[in-house]
Chain A
Amino acid sequence: MKQTDRPVRIVVAQPSVPVAGVDVRAALRRLGAGVDLEVVADAQICIDLCAAGEVDLVVVDYALAVHCERILKELRGDGPPVVVAIRDASDDVALDVFRRGASDCVALARDGEEALPVVALEQIRRFRAARDRGAAERRIRHLEQYNENIIQNMNSALLVVDMDGHITFCNPPAGKILGEDPKALRGRAVWAWFSSDEEEVSLLARTLSTGVSYKGAERIVIRSDGTPVPVGISCSPFFDSAGEKIGAVTIFQDLTEVKQLQSQVLQTEKMASIGQLAAGVAHEINNPMGFIHANLFQMAEYLTDLRQVWGRVDDLLQVVRSGDLETIQAAGDALAGVMREVDLAYVVSDFGKAIRESQEGSERIRHIVQDLRDFSHHDSSEHVLADVNQCLDSTATIVWPMMKQIVVLDKDYEDLQTIVCYPMQIKQVFMNLLVNAYQSIEAKVGESGETGKVWLRTRQRDDGVVVEVTDTGVGIPASHIDRIFDPFFTTKKVGSGTGLGLSTSFGIVKRHGGSLTVDSKEGEGTTFRVFLPVEAEFDGD
């Protein structure tokens, strides 16, 4: 852009045979070799050269007459300055060329040839200075517009407040999140949207009072219509050019969609796990259903048997009143006969057994359905105190029917302190780990009839609880171990895994302030270790 660096370029328009005493070109040669002189005799060529740019000055011999007029007319107000050279200046001629737009006029015979280079240089200097000033102004205007465009078009909301928390600037996305016209926000106190309650002084208030910056915190903004909007927010103090703190700048994004998406991913992943388990659960329900169903039919038969016996008992009671010993004897024999026939002792004892077994079976179904209902629940928004052993065990109950053919399960639970958590999410983590353990063993033993082993171990530590899920499956190759928690990383064949199980689990455990780690040896097995702190701090609560 620095045009001053390029050589000076002057277009000289004069007749191909200069009039005696007026040789503009010769006069300008005094400027030295650094000046690029281009001589033309035609107005159109001169105008074209100027239009192509980078011409600093046009010097026209007045003797070119109509060409001279045309050049003055075309270049007037737009393009390089035009100096007209004349032989003998009458004031009339000079005035005329000035009127027509010439920047200067030099009379060679009167002013001497030396005058022309001086005038030319002065015109070039003025022209270049004006052009540079114009360029600088254009650059500043461009920058201002550019910055303005950034602020207006950025996706994030930008808000500037003064030391009292009054809004001094805000862009359209900020207006959108706060539910107001951005222009109407200027001068209003920001606390209407960013609450500064006693319990949790807003980040903005803290930045204003202490000058500390905050990055990427999750908070709630209350829109003008009262809707709470989850936002990711950063705040920093705002200094003027003298370095004095005059307020705060805050940038925030609406996280509503992100939150919904996160919750959808969690739900999708959970449903995928449930899909895998549905068959197993059906089996676990079909078994008790099978024997309850069969028992009911048998109990109906037992009842028929008992009615038969009761019929004979009734007969006996009738004849007892008659007092006839023989008749009583006969009725007694008939009763004994029926009792033998229906195997009464067996029926009575087995009736009770059938009832107990069926009760136990229906209790088992109730339990499964309850576990399943717990599991398919959408996240409750509350974190609660929960027993991690219970979370682990009820999850294991759901997964067990799927694994039992090839897995021996070993449970080693220590008494655990209850912890603050989202139990459904924690169960989802356990489910993922158990399903992984099962699939890893399945990949190893296949249809060989061999079994693998899964250990569930829980331990109480001073600062929290540890749950380990260890399997004797195929293990994880060292080359994969750094990637297993990455979203969509999967080695399972298409359709059997979303690649989200472990990354989702990792996210859940992390949100609980805990950790999920892995130890694995290819070919020997894997241990996943979940640590959950007793008192987790949840983001955004």
Chain B
Amino acid sequence: METELLCAQPTLLVVDDEERILSALRRTLRREGYRIVTSESVHEALEILDARPVDLILSDQKMPGMSGLQFLEEAAKRCPDAARMLITGWTEEIPAEKLEELGICGLITKPWDDARLKEVLRQACDAVWPVANARVGTASAGSGR
């Protein structure tokens, strides 16, 4: 029953090497209805994606070992249906074409505006949720056989 309940919620993977950011994002999105999975390392995050697909990915840009853009590119290979977004405190310009090319649907800057963050996530979720639902549906059908 719990599984079903979880399946009814879109899953959001948040990746940031800063634990405090993860904690604050959890707080902010507490009542937004996502199942939130967090990771402080890109490598751990890729392992999570290997283990199970997610619906939304929000990643920091500047992290040890791999940039957020590189991570999101890798993530797309493992989880092509997920909506991917970047959150950055870095001041360097990330060109819109680059984001488009990598299929990244949102860019949030730190410090973020709570309302805008929620809005970006909601829109991204609306775009992928039917797909995810369909996938969840197939998966349930499969398991029900």
Hey, which chain A residues are within 8 Å of B89, CB to CB? 282-287, 289-290
A355 → chain B closest CB, angstroms = 12
Hey, which chain B residues are within 8 Å of A287, CB to CB? 18, 20-21, 89, 110
Range for the number of chain A residues in contact with chain B: 20 to 34
Q: In the complex, are the beta carbons of A357 and B20 less than 8 A apart? A: yes
- The distance in angstroms between the C-alpha atoms of A279 and B62, with both chains bound, is 12
Within 8 A of A (CB), among B68-126: 70, 89-92, 109-112, 114
- The distance in angstroms between the C-alpha atoms of A429 and B25, with both chains bound, is 39
- The distance in angstroms between the C-alpha atoms of A405 and B70, with both chains bound, is 12
Hey, which chain B residues are within 8 Å of A408, CB to CB? 64
Within 8 A of A (CB), among B17-67: 17-18, 20-21, 23-25, 27-28, 30, 62-67
Q: Mark A436-463, 1 if CB is under 8 A from B, else 0.
A: 0000000000010101000000000000
Hey, which chain B residues are within 8 Å of A294, CB to CB? 24-25, 27-28, 111-112, 114
- The distance in angstroms between the C-alpha atoms of A272 and B15, with both chains bound, is 33
Say which residue of B28, B62, B63 sits within 8 Å of A297 (CB atoms). B28
B66 → chain A closest CB, angstroms = 5
B74's closest neighbor in chain A, by CB? Answer: A449
What is the total of A-B residue contacts with beta carbons within 8 Å?
82
Candidate in B62, B67, B114 with the most chain A CB atoms within 10 angstroms: B62
Within 8 A of B (CB), among A499-540: none
A195 → chain B closest CB, angstroms = 53
A130 → chain B closest CB, angstroms = 87
B67's closest neighbor in chain A, by CB? Answer: A405
Number of interface residues of B (CB under 8 A): 26
Q: In the complex, are the beta carbons of B65 and A451 less than 8 A apart? A: yes
Q: In the complex, are the beta carbons of A298 and B110 less than 8 A apart? A: no
Is A360 an interface position by the 8 A CB rule?
Answer: yes
Hey, which chain B residues are within 8 Å of A350, CB to CB? 27
Hey, which chain B residues are within 8 Å of A289, CB to CB? 89, 110-111
Hey, which chain A residues are within 8 Å of B27, CB to CB? 294-295, 298, 350, 354
Q: In the complex, are the beta carbons of A279 and B21 less than 8 A apart? A: no
A302 → chain B closest CB, angstroms = 9
- The distance in angstroms between the C-alpha atoms of A401 and B114, with both chains bound, is 25
Hey, which chain A residues are within 8 Å of B112, CB to CB? 290, 293-294
- The distance in angstroms between the C-alpha atoms of A193 and B63, with both chains bound, is 62
- The distance in angstroms between the C-alpha atoms of A56 and B25, with both chains bound, is 110
B21 → chain A closest CB, angstroms = 5
B14 → chain A closest CB, angstroms = 12
A405-B24 in contact given A279-B90, A287-B110, A289-B110 (Cβ < 8 Å): no
Q: In the complex, are the beta carbons of B20 and A405 less than 8 A apart? A: no
Q: In the complex, are the beta carbons of B20 and A291 less than 8 A apart? A: yes
Q: In the complex, are the beta carbons of B24 and A283 less than 8 A apart? A: no
- The distance in angstroms between the C-alpha atoms of A287 and B21, with both chains bound, is 7
Is A353 an interface position by the 8 A CB rule?
Answer: yes
Candidate in A282, A291, A404 with the most chain B CB atoms within 10 angstroms: A291
A291-B24 in contact given A282-B89, A283-B91, A286-B89 (Cβ < 8 Å): yes
B residues with CB within 8 A of A: 17-18, 20-21, 23-25, 27-28, 30, 62-67, 70, 89-92, 109-112, 114
8 smallest CB-CB distances across A and B, nearest first, come from A286-B89, A290-B110, A291-B24, A293-B111, A294-B24, A290-B111, A289-B111, A298-B27
Q: Apart from A291-B23, A292-B111, A405-B65, what 14 extra A-B contacts exist at CB < 8 Å?
A: A279-B91, A286-B109, A287-B110, A291-B21, A291-B24, A294-B25, A294-B114, A298-B27, A353-B23, A357-B20, A404-B63, A404-B64, A405-B64, A408-B64
A residues with CB within 8 A of B: 279, 282-295, 297-298, 350, 353-354, 357, 360-361, 401, 404-405, 408, 447, 449, 451
Residue pairs across A and B with Cβ atoms less than 8 A apart, 19 shown, are: A282-B91, A283-B62, A283-B90, A283-B91, A286-B89, A286-B90, A286-B109, A288-B20, A290-B110, A290-B111, A291-B18, A291-B21, A291-B24, A298-B28, A360-B20, A361-B20, A401-B62, A449-B66, A451-B64
